[in-house]
C-alpha cells in the first residue's frame, strides 16, 4: 500500500471470530484509534467485551453478511475455522487480510501438506487417507500421528497410533472423513515463528519461541528459546519462505519441529496471530496484534525491538477457578515478574484456554522456574 491508501484511524475494522486473539486485536486497534466490529455467533464471545459493535448472527446469514460488509473498511480473522465461503464472499467487496487462499490451506491439512511438499519445504513423512478402508494400505512404519484433514484444533481430531490394535480401535470411532497420517518424529523441541507480511514481498519475523505442549495443547512458550543462533536464523528463513510462497498480507504463525538431527520441519501454518505470540505484548516494542492492525490497514510493518525475556504459561480449564481464589491471587501478585491475562470466557471446560500468565524478566531460565512453580501449584 502507498501512503495515500492507508486506512486511517476513525475507520472501522471487522474481526471474524470473537475469542481471545480477536480480543487482543480489538484492544490494539482501539488504542490505535480504530473502531472494531466483532462478528461471532456466540453472544458471549470474549472479544465482544472490547468491540465498538458486535454481531451474534450465524456466519451464513446473508443479510448479516451484507450489513457487516457495509459497516467495515477492512476485515481480518482470528482463527482458521471461520467459514471459507464467508471469507470468499467478503473479499469480493472488502479488503480481507489474510484472505481465502491461506484460509483454505489452513482448513485442510491435506491441502496444507500438498502446498508445503510441492514447494519443497521440509515436512514430516506422511500419507493421505481418503477413506477409512485405506488405513490398511499405509506404508509408514508405526507409531503414527493420525489427524483429521479438517477442523482439528488444540489437539482435537488427533490420535497417536502405536500398533495395529490401536488402528482397529480408531476405525470404530471415525467415519466419513479424510485424514493425514504422519510418522512420529524424533524431535528435540517444538517452536514457532510469527511472520508479518504486507502481501507485496516485505516480510518481518519475530524471533522463534520454544513451545511445550500437554495433550496437544500449548502449555508454555519460552522467549528467547534455548536454541543456537544458527537454528533460530534457519527457522526464521524457512518461515519467511513459507509465508512468502502464500503471498497474502497479515500475521501468520509457522509451527515447526527441530528434529534430533537438527533438521527444521514445518508442522502447520496458522493465518492469524498465535497463542505462542502473546508474549509480544509484553516483550517486544510492537505486539503481533499491533502488527496485525498495521498489515490490515497499510501502515508500515517493522522489525520489533526485543525488550525482555518472557515465559508464557497457559491457564487451562479449572485452573482458572483456582486462580480466582484469594490465596492464589495473592501469591501470583507477590512477584513483579508475573502478569495475569484472563480472557473473559463465561464457561469453564476441561483443557479450555481460559487465560495465561506472562512471566517477564532478564533471564528466561529463571522465568521457566517461576512458571514451573506456578504450574505445580495447580496440582491439588
In a domain, 111, yes or no: no
Instruction: Tell me: pLDDT of 1 over 60.
Output: no
What CATH number should be reported for the domain holding residue 153?
3.30.1490.20
Instruction: Tell me: pLDDT of 59 over 90.
Output: yes
Q: How far is CA 258 from CA 50, 192, 235, 306, 311, in A?
A: 38, 10, 9, 23, 19
Of 237, 244, 187, 184, the residue nearest 208 (C-alpha): 237
What CATH number should be reported for the domain holding residue 81?
3.40.50.20
Percent of the chain whose pLDDT exceeds 90: 87
In a domain, 252, yes or no: yes
Q: Are strands 187-198 and 203-205 parallel, antiparallel or unpaired?
A: antiparallel
**pLDDT mean over 270-278:** 97
Query: pLDDT value at position 95?
Result: 97
Percent of the chain whose pLDDT exceeds 70: 97
158 with 85, same domain: the answer is no
215 with 355, same domain: the answer is yes
Q: How confident is the model at residue 65 (pLDDT cuts 50, 70, 90)?
A: very high
Of 138, 153, 183, which one is at a domain's C-terminal end? 183
In a domain, 119, yes or no: no
Cα–Cα distance between 323 and 330 in angstroms, integer?
10
Instruction: Tell me: pLDDT of 47 over 60.
Output: yes
CB-based contacts of 287, cutoff 8 Å, min separation 6? 24, 28, 280, 281, 304
For the chain, what is the domain count?
A: 3
By three-state DSSP, how is residue 314 classified? strand
Cα–Cα distance between 369 and 213 in angstroms, integer?
17
List phi, psi (to 5°) of 150.
-130, 155
Compare 136 and 155 and report the one with higher pLDDT: 136
Nine cell digits for residue 286 = 510492537
In a domain, 192, yes or no: yes
The separation between the first and the last C-alpha atoms of the chain, rounded to the nearest angstrom, is 54
In a domain, 115, yes or no: no
Query: pLDDT value at position 16?
Result: 98
**pLDDT mean over 230-248:** 98
Of 183, 217, 233, which one is at a domain's C-terminal end? 183
Q: Which pLDDT tens digit goes with each residue over 170-218? A: 888 887 689 999 999 899 999 999 999 999 999 999 999 999 999 889 9
173 with 193, same domain: the answer is no
159 with 214, same domain: the answer is no
215 with 255, same domain: the answer is yes
Of the candidate ranges 109-118, 136-145, 249-258, 278-287, the one whose mean pLDDT is the lowest: 136-145
Alpha carbon 159 to its chain's center: 20
- Output Rg (C-alpha) for the chain, integer angstroms: 21
76 with 161, same domain: the answer is no
- What range defines the domain where residue 61 resides? 3-96
256 with 327, same domain: the answer is yes
**pLDDT mean over 64-77:** 98
**pLDDT mean over 263-280:** 97
Alpha carbon 285 to its chain's center: 20
Of 96, 114, 147, which one is at a domain's C-terminal end? 96
Of 225, 226, 259, 256, the residue nearest 238 (C-alpha): 256
173 with 209, same domain: the answer is no
In a domain, 120, yes or no: no
Q: How far is CA 21 from CA 50, 64, 353, in A?
A: 12, 22, 11
131 with 235, same domain: the answer is no
Q: How confident is the model at residue 166 (pLDDT cuts 50, 70, 90)?
A: confident
What does the CA dihedral 212, 215, 216, 217 come to, rounded to 10 degrees? -70
In a domain, 114, yes or no: no
The half-sphere exposure of 135 on its side-chain side, counting CA atoms within 13 A, is 25
229 with 355, same domain: the answer is yes
Entry pTM: 0.95
C-beta of residue 182 within 8 angstroms of C-beta of residue 143: no
237 with 367, same domain: the answer is yes
List phi, psi (to 5°) of 46.
-65, -30
C-beta of residue 374 within 8 angstroms of C-beta of residue 332: yes
Q: Which pLDDT tens digit goes with each residue over 292-343? A: 999 999 999 999 999 999 999 999 999 999 998 999 999 999 989 999 999 9
Query: pLDDT value at position 362?
Result: 95
Q: How confident is the model at residue 3 (pLDDT cuts 50, 70, 90)?
A: low
- The residue behind cell 490401536 is 166
What CATH number should be reported for the domain holding residue 268?
3.30.470.20
Query: pLDDT value at position 153?
Result: 64
In a domain, 80, yes or no: yes
Instruction: For the beta carbon of residue 180, count every other beta carbon within 10 angstroms.
Output: 22
212 with 308, same domain: the answer is yes
- In the chain, DSSP assigns E strands to 12-16, 35-39, 53-55, 74-77, 126-129, 144-148, 158-161, 179-183, 187-198, 203-205, 209-214, 217-223, 249-259, 264-270, 309-316, 338-342, 353-361
Amino acid at each position: 500500500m502507498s501512503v495515500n491508501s492507508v486506512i486511517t484511524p476513525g475507520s472501522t475494522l471487522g474481526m471474524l471470530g470473537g475469542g481471545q486473539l480477536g480480543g487482543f486485536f480489538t484492544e490494539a486497534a482501539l488504542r490505535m484509534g480504530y473502531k472494531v466490529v466483532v462478528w461471532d455467533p456466540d453472544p458471549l464471545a470474549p472479544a465482544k467485551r472490547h468491540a465498538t459493535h458486535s454481531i451474534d448472527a450465524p456466519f451464513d446469514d446473508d443479510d448479516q453478511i451484507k450489513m457487516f460488509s457495509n459497516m467495515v473498511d477492512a476485515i481480518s480473522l482470528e482463527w482458521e475455522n471461520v467459514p471459507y465461503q464467508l471469507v470468499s464472499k467478503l473479499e469480493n467487496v472488502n479488503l480481507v487480510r489474510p484472505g481465502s487462499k491461506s484460509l483454505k490451506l489452513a482448513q485442510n491439512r491435506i491441502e496444507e501438506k500438498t502446498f508445503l511438499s510441492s514447494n519443497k519445504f521440509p515436512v514430516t513423512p506422511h500419507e493421505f487417507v481418503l477413506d477409512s478402508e485405506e488405513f490398511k494400505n499405509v506404508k509408514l512404519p508405526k507409531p503414527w500421528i493420525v489427524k483429521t484433514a479438517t477442523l482439528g484444533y488444540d489437539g482435537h481430531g488427533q490420535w497417536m497410533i502405536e500398533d495395529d490394535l490401536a488402528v482397529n480401535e480408531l476405525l470404530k470411532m471415525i467415519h466419513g472423513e479424510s485424514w493425514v497420517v504422519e510418522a512420529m518424529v524424533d524431535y528435540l523441541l517444538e517452536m514457532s515463528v510469527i511472520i508479518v507480511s504486507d502481501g507485496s514481498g516485505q516480510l518481518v519475523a519475530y524471533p522463534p519461541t520454544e513451545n511445550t505442549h500437554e495433550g496437544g495443547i500449548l502449555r508454555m512458550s519460552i522467549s528467547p528459546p534455548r536454541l543456537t543462533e544458527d537454528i533460530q536464523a534457519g527457522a526464521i528463513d524457512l518461515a519467511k519462505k513459507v509465508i512468502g510462497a502464500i503471498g497474502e498480507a497479515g500475521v501468520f504463525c509457522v509451527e515447526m519441529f527441530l528434529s534430533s538431527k537438527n533438521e527444521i520441519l514445518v508442522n502447520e501454518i496458522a493465518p492469524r496471530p498465535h497463542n505462542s505470540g502473546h508474549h509480544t505484548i509484553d516483550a517486544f516494542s510492537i505486539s503481533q496484534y499491533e502488527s496485525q492492525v498495521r498489515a490490515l490497514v497499510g501502515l508500515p510493518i517493522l522489525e520489533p525491538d526485543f525488550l525482555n525475556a518472557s515465559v508464557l504459561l497457559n491457564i487451562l480449564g479449572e485452573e482458572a477457578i483456582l486462580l480466582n481464589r484469594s490465596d492464589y491471587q495473592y501469591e501470583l501478585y507477590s512477584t513483579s515478574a508475573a502478569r495475569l491475562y484472563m480472557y473473559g470466557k463465561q464457561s469453564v471446560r476441561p483443557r479450555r484456554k481460559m487465560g495465561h500468565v506472562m512471566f517477564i524478566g532478564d533471564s528466561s531460565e529463571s522465568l521457566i522456574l517461576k512458571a514451573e512453580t506456578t504450574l505445580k501449584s495447580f496440582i491439588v
